[in-house]
Every structure is written in C-alpha cells, then in structure tokens.
C-alpha cells in the first residue's frame, strides 16, 4: 500500500514559532521600534564601488563603529564604514535612549567589594562617557534631543531606601554632588506612583534619540558602504 494522500483542502502548514504572538500583538501594539519609526532612515550611503584602499575600514555602522569612525575622521584619517544591513538600525536604533551615569550595581556594595578608590574611578568613567556624548552632540550639531533628564533608582522596600541613603551619603563626599535623595512623600512627583519608599535621583544622567544621534556625524566624516552580507 502506498502513502496515504492528504485529503484535498487539508493543506495546513506547520506553525512558525512566534507567529501566533506576532499576529495577535500587532493588533494591540506596534512592533517597529520608536526611534526607527520617528527618524528617517540613513540614505547617504556611498553608491560607488568600495575604494581599493583606505586607512581604516570599520565593520558595523552602529554606535561603536560610527563613533570610532568619527574619532578617526577628526584626525584626518580616511575611514570607510561597512554596514551589512541599515546604519543605526540594530541595537543602536532600538535601545532605550538612556545615557546614564552611575553604576547599574549598588555603589555602596561595589565600594565594599573593590575599594572606594576603584569604585569611584569606575563611577567617574561613566560620568565622562555621558559628558563625551554631550560634547560630540554639541560639536557636531547633532540634533538628537540630548537632555540631562536624570535617572532614578527606586526603593520598593524600606530597606532599599536605607541603602540608597547610604549610597547618597558616600557619593555626596566628592564623587557625585548631583544626586538627590527623594523621600517617600515626594516620590509621586517623579514617577507618578506612590508605591515606592523613596528613590535616588542621578541628575547627570541623560536621554537621547537613538537614531537621530547618527545623522550628522556619519555624513560628515565618512563614506558608509553597504557590504552586501544581508541585502535588504
């Protein structure tokens, strides 16, 4: 006996993983990242064939590649950026836009582990990174909505607030004088919720528009080439 034929009309294909979710979520939420949806795509890529020679070739046109290219170009070095997909459309075009100072880990615990000197050096490196983003945006006239909007660490339990108080006290001694302790009674003004037991505000932290951050720097300093690994 040969193989049984599927009855006509029973041509169901195997489900693609995540497909159901995709179909149901598109009805209620937008899947296109906000940054990519609210700024024009990069369209100034070089059309001509790749040059036979350049001083530096950079693979990848995200934050890392573009800022490296800018640094080279500022020194008059001939730099080519090779991007397989779309410039600033991978992680750099779909992140939170937070440009934070401070550590993600609790500073008091970090200082206990590494010593105050090392922990402070680490903390200052983040300060300096945020300052660098701000100065590049200013010097290159990049209209990316860079704003010192602040970052807040929230205490969901009373003992978390005690830890934030301790961190605030250590930071205030010359490490970061721009942190502010927010007591429980005032937290509602910051986060529109009264559920938290207070918070620590880092006023030097910033936010920016991820995709617009690339627009001017890339056109000024370099030739961006699509390298055809993943043609659109």
Ligand X SMILES: Cc1cc2nc3c(=O)[nH]c(=O)nc-3n(C[C@H](O)[C@H](O)[C@H](O)COP(=O)(O)OP(=O)(O)OC[C@H]3O[C@@H](n4cnc5c(N)ncnc54)[C@H](O)[C@@H]3O)c2cc1C
Distances (CA, A) of 216 to 70, 132, 139, 154, 198: 10, 16, 11, 36, 40
Least distance CB 81 / ligand X (angstroms) = 9
Beta carbon of residue 65, minimum distance to ligand X (angstroms, whole number): 5
Q: How many CB atoms lie within 10 A of CB 104?
A: 8
Q: How far is the CB of 56 from ligand X (least distance, A)?
A: 15
Q: Which residues would be at the binding site for ligand X (CB under 6 A)?
A: 59-65, 82-85, 90-92, 94-98, 227, 229
Q: Which of 55, 51, 61, 52 is nearest to 82 (CA)?
A: 61
Tokens of 174: 């010359």
Distance of CA 118 to the CA centre of its chain: 25
Residue holding tokens 């290219």? 69
Give the shortest CB-104-to-ligand X separation in angstroms: 10
Helix (H, G, I), strand (E, B) or coil at 231: coil
Provide the β-strand partners of residue 151: 202
Closer CB to ligand X, 99 or 111, in the complex:
99
Residue 29 and residue 58: Cα distance in Å, rounded? 36
Smallest distance, ligand X to C-beta of residue 114, A: 22
Residue with CB nearest ligand X?
62
For ligand X, give the closer residue by CB, 65 or 150. Answer: 65
Contact 155, 198 (CB under 8 A): yes
Residue placing its CB nearer to ligand X in the complex, 199 or 210: 210
Q: Which residues pair with 83 in a beta bridge?
A: 226
> Nearer to ligand X by C-beta: 63 or 196?
63
DSSP state of 175: T
Residue 44 or 112: which CB sits closer to ligand X?
44
Between 98 and 105, whose beta carbon lies closer to ligand X? Answer: 98
CB of 103 to ligand X, least distance (A): 13
């Amino acid at each position: 006996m040969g193989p049984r034929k599927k009855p006509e009309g029973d041509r169901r294909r195997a489900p693609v993983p995540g497909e159901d979710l995709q179909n149901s979520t598109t009805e209620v939420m937008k899947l296109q990242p906000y940054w990519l949806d609210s700024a024009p795509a990069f369209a100034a890529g070089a059309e001509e064939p790749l040059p036979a020679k350049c001083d530096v070739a950079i693979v990848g046109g995200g934050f890392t590649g573009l800022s490296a290219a800018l640094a080279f170009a500022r020194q008059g070095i001939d730099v080519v950026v090779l991007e397989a997909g779309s410039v600033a459309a991978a992680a750099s075009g779909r992140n939170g836009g937070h440009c934070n100072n401070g550590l993600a880990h609790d500073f008091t615990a970090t200082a206990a582990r590494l010593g105050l000197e090392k922990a402070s050096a680490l903390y200052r490196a983040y300060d300096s990174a945020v300052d660098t983003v701000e100065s590049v945006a200013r010097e290159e006239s990049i209209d990316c909505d860079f704003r010192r909007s602040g970052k807040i660490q929230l205490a969901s339990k009373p003992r978390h607030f005690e830890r934030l108080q301790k961190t605030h006290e250590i930071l205030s001694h010359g490490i970061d004088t721009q942190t502010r302790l927010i007591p429980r009674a005032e937290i509602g003004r910051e986060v529109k919720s009264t559920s938290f037991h207070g918070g620590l505000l880092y006023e030097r932290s910033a936010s920016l528009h991820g995709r617009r951050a690339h627009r001017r720097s890339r056109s000024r300093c370099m030739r961006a080439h699509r390298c055809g690994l993943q043609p659109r």
